[in-house]
Amino acid sequence: MTRRERARELAGGRPLVSGDLTTVTWLTGLATDIEYGPSPFTVAPLVLLDPDGSLLAFVSEDEAGGVGEGIETRTFPGFAVEDVDRSALATLLAREALTCAREVAADVASLPGALVAALLGDGVEIVDVSSELRAARAVKDADEVAAIRASTSIADAGQKAAREAAAGGRTELDVWSEARAAMERAAGGRVPLLADLVSGERTAEVGGPPSDRVLHDGDLVLVDLVPRLDAYWSDSCATLSVGEALPEMRRAHDVARAALERAVAMCRPGTRAADVDAAARGVIAEGGGTYPHHTGHGIGTSFHEEPRVIPDTARVLEEGMVVALEPGSYGDRWGVRVEQVLLVTDGEPEILSGHDLSL
Amino acid sequence: MTRRERARELAGGRPLVSGDLTTVTWLTGLATDIEYGPSPFTVAPLVLLDPDGSLLAFVSEDEAGGVGEGIETRTFPGFAVEDVDRSALATLLAREALTCAREVAADVASLPGALVAALLGDGVEIVDVSSELRAARAVKDADEVAAIRASTSIADAGQKAAREAAAGGRTELDVWSEARAAMERAAGGRVPLLADLVSGERTAEVGGPPSDRVLHDGDLVLVDLVPRLDAYWSDSCATLSVGEALPEMRRAHDVARAALERAVAMCRPGTRAADVDAAARGVIAEGGGTYPHHTGHGIGTSFHEEPRVIPDTARVLEEGMVVALEPGSYGDRWGVRVEQVLLVTDGEPEILSGHDLSL
């Protein structure tokens, strides 16, 4: 089944409406600008999946071109000199399209308040299908895997540039700027980017944004780059050393790589995500370490989605899932983490990441 | 009146609730991460202003530290290994705080759908005060002006770096990366940034993101940088030339600067925004040019807000408003634009921008 077919199935014969950007992007391909928060020239787009399988996107005129082929759009004004109440217009468009509905399936938390008020006022029952949508998004179609491959190559370019830039006397921000510039050069344009870039004692804090801290010989630098190319995210992490690393840093790093390898090898259809999590934590614990975060997670139209690889979860891996695994080990004065993205296949997992994992 | 007092007044004795990030930031000082879209580890914060004047912020544990002093916070979990329904928890917190309310004032479009559904289910009437909030945000308190001064100095640093970087053989992305790096160095950390960075024939299109287009002698480069430092945005635009500009480019640029000067000089309390708009358009028209966008707008916790400086508007300038003015002139093959940010005082406007406006 394609993602549209899965979405149709989970809606159970009802129209499905979503204002969750990750779901809108998943169904329509539309990747909106996300780097500067809310814009007065647009409101969040909405998607409506009809029970007959057709899709309708409610979107500003400026963004309509980003909606995939064969998907109908109903637009409200984008950039305009005059005053426009885009929120009211978007609500009106969606409400009109749902005139005959008695029940709609939705991730209700994501819907704009004005639309919910209008639908409830019309006597429409809203059935929440948020968790079903999250589960449906976890398995990728072939075009989604291709898109994640492309965004992973951008992450690789960033990791390479960060490794080249990290040197004594430079700041975390210097390394960051060069990594980002390399990614944007590789992409040919702006790249939305979530990242940890911390060095020295900051690596003990697991993550954080780049600062003006100056790198010194003996520092570790933890670089976790999460770029979005077009509609799809990737993820990657490496830890590298400036000058010579202490022997205990090298040991912890070797253990983290071993934990990653062990976890990667387990990612086959039918494996419980909790077992992958336990295996990775086990390798780290044998080496005397620990980490306070998840072992991994899916990526797609969001940077952290199902399947979450955590303890005590019933999730089971399936062919077509794309998973980022990122075990680490953190002490009082420094920490290490390594991460790769993989595709769950019917055989061995395919590692999509191509960046250097050495210290 | 302070902004909190203005907000209390417009709520008319009702509790005021908002999920609009620009309003939440305005009342609480909280500047959330906005550079990578929705995060699975948080949901949008909410603010509640009680009729007694006290503020309550509903926010993730990870973001609570960003809420201003003296403002009570009620938190839901932030980053967590285990699964958490943050949306449901945030809705629950807000609903509990509104238990006794029969009416609430809100910018209803901004409220999460789940909260609206809960409030309506409880029989609460929601009175929309979006436009009143937009008007109230237009006049800045002294601490807001100080914050905009600081973000404007970041914009200045970016303009300086862009001017130094723009040279034949370099790409728009090269100029962009250097400008952004300079701004982040000046800020000591990441800086959310909206920008136009276009060159050559692309300047005729008014704006757009940086591309891999290579700069050539005789090109204009239009650089519009809109950074947020902490909670407040600034805005700035300059147009510069690579090598020697054509005489007609110089003339158009001189006219744009004259239009800007004329518009700036008019910004005094009591002046109609539409008159400022008409004056700037008039100078450009006398020079044989035109522009398809607004003449200006307010800045604050959003990058484009009241007072919008456009035709056919009844808006009147008031002391304490901060306005970005940006007349331009665009032809078939190139365009120019210049922009400064000013504070409306009881006398002459104070120009906050310090960047070089020369061609």
Residue B199 forms contact with A (CB below 8 Å): no
pLDDT digits (tens, 9 = 90+) for B264-277: 999 999 999 999 99
Q: Give the model's pLDDT for residue B262.
A: 98
Residue B180 forms contact with A (CB below 8 Å): yes
Report the share of chain B in percent with pLDDT over 90: 97
Q: Give the model's pLDDT for residue A185.
A: 98
User: What's the rounded Cα separation, in Å, for the pair A207 and A172?
Assistant: 12
Across the interface, which of B20, B21, B113 has its CB nearest the CB of A115? B113
User: What's the rounded Cα separation, in Å, for the pair B28 and B209?
Assistant: 32
Inter-chain residue contact B194 with A109, CB threshold 8 Å? no
Please measure the distance between the N-terminal and C-terminal CA atoms of chain B and give it in whole angstroms: 42
Inter-chain residue contact A302 with B38, CB threshold 8 Å? yes
pLDDT digits (tens, 9 = 90+) for B276-285: 999 999 999 9
Q: pLDDT grade, residue A109 (50/70/90)? A: confident
Mean pLDDT calculated for residue range A97-117: 92
pLDDT digits (tens, 9 = 90+) for A147-172: 999 999 999 999 999 999 999 999 99
User: What's the rounded Cα separation, in Å, for the pair A127 and A113?
Assistant: 15
State the best of A23, A24, A26, A36 to mutate against chain B, taking most chain B CBs within 10 Å.
A36
Q: Give the model's pLDDT for residue B338.
A: 98
Mean pLDDT calculated for residue range B24-50: 96
**Gap from A83 CA to chain B (nearest CA, Å):** 9
pLDDT over 90 (residue A126): yes
Please measure the distance between the N-terminal and C-terminal CA atoms of chain A and give it in whole angstroms: 42
How many other C-beta atoms are found inside a 10 Å radius of the C-beta of residue A61? 14
Mean pLDDT calculated for residue range A29-44: 94
Inter-chain residue contact B82 with A312, CB threshold 8 Å? yes
Give the residue from B156, A247, A285, B344 showing the smallest Cα distance to A295. Answer: A285
Inter-chain residue contact A35 with B194, CB threshold 8 Å? yes
pLDDT over 90 (residue A76): yes
Mean pLDDT calculated for residue range B29-51: 95
- What six digits make up the tokens of B170? 């370099």
pLDDT digits (tens, 9 = 90+) for B322-342: 999 999 999 999 999 999 999
Mean pLDDT calculated for residue range A232-255: 98
Q: Give the model's pLDDT for residue A54.
A: 97
Q: What backbone phi and psi angles, to 5 degrees, belong to B289? A: -115, -175
User: What's the rounded Cα separation, in Å, for the pair B189 and A116?
Assistant: 39
pLDDT over 90 (residue A319): yes
User: What's the rounded Cα separation, in Å, for the pair A300 and B199?
Assistant: 33
Q: pLDDT grade, residue A327 (50/70/90)? A: very high
Cβ atoms B173, B210 nearer than 8 A: yes
For A191, name the nearest residue in chain B, comparing CA atoms only: B36
Residues in chain B: 359
Q: Give the model's pLDDT for residue B298.
A: 98
Across the interface, which of A43, A87, A294 has its CB nearest the CB of B81? A294
pLDDT over 90 (residue A138): yes
Inter-chain residue contact B82 with A185, CB threshold 8 Å? no
For A292, name the nearest residue in chain B, comparing CA atoms only: B81
Chain B residues lying within 8 Å of A301, measured CB to CB: none
User: What single letter denotes the amino acid at residue A4?
Assistant: R
Chain B residues lying within 8 Å of A188, measured CB to CB: 173, 211-212
Inter-chain residue contact B36 with A194, CB threshold 8 Å? yes
Residue with tokens 């901004």: B110
Q: Give the model's pLDDT for residue B110.
A: 87
Residue A58 forms contact with B (CB below 8 Å): no
Residue with tokens 């990667």: A264
Inter-chain residue contact B210 with A194, CB threshold 8 Å? no
Across the interface, which of A83, A110, A113 has its CB nearest the CB of B116? A113
Cβ atoms A39, A19 nearer than 8 A: no
DSSP helix/strand/coil, B163: helix
Kindly list the distances between the CA atom of residue B97 and the CA atoms of A43, B76, B104, in Å, as whole numbers in the listed order.
Answer: 28, 14, 12
User: What's the rounded Cα separation, in Å, for the pair A110 and A43?
Assistant: 13
DSSP helix/strand/coil, B1: coil
User: What's the rounded Cα separation, in Å, for the pair A79 and B291?
Assistant: 14
Chain B residues lying within 8 Å of A280, measured CB to CB: none
Residue A155 forms contact with B (CB below 8 Å): no
Residue A123 forms contact with B (CB below 8 Å): no
Residue A305 forms contact with B (CB below 8 Å): yes
Across the interface, which of B34, B87, B304 has its CB nearest the CB of A40? B304
For chain B positions 231-270, those within 8 Å of chain A (CB to CB) are none
Report the share of chain A in percent with pLDDT over 70: 100
Q: Give the model's pLDDT for residue A18.
A: 97
User: What's the rounded Cα separation, in Å, for the pair A234 and A227?
Assistant: 6
pLDDT digits (tens, 9 = 90+) for A256-275: 999 999 999 999 999 999 99
pLDDT over 90 (residue A110): no
pLDDT over 90 (residue A284): yes
> Is 0.90 topped by the overall pTM?
yes
Question: Would the CA dihedral through A169, A171, A175, A181 be positive or negative?
Answer: negative
pLDDT digits (tens, 9 = 90+) for B158-182: 999 999 999 999 999 999 999 999 9
User: What's the rounded Cα separation, in Å, for the pair A282 and A265?
Assistant: 15
Cβ atoms A170, A188 nearer than 8 A: no
Chain A residues lying within 8 Å of B129, measured CB to CB: none
Mean pLDDT calculated for residue range B36-41: 92
pLDDT digits (tens, 9 = 90+) for B219-261: 999 999 999 999 999 999 999 999 999 999 999 999 999 999 9
Q: What backbone phi and psi angles, to 5 degrees, belong to A211? A: -125, -175
- What six digits make up the tokens of B355? 């960047």
Residue B192 forms contact with A (CB below 8 Å): yes
Least confidently predicted of A2-6, A302-306, B76-80, B97-101: B97-101
pLDDT over 90 (residue B154): yes
pLDDT digits (tens, 9 = 90+) for B311-324: 999 999 999 999 99
- Can you count the helices (H) and strands (E) in chain A? 9, 17
User: What's the rounded Cα separation, in Å, for the pair A148 and B289?
Assistant: 46
User: What's the rounded Cα separation, in Å, for the pair B53 and B48?
Assistant: 10
Chain A residues lying within 8 Å of B113, measured CB to CB: 19, 106, 108-113, 115-116, 126
Average pLDDT value for chain B: 97
Residue B346 forms contact with A (CB below 8 Å): no
- What six digits make up the tokens of A61? 């005129």
**Gap from A351 CA to chain B (nearest CA, Å):** 24
User: What's the rounded Cα separation, in Å, for the pair A46 and A308?
Assistant: 26
User: What's the rounded Cα separation, in Å, for the pair B225 and B157?
Assistant: 10
pLDDT over 90 (residue A129): yes
Average pLDDT value for chain A: 97
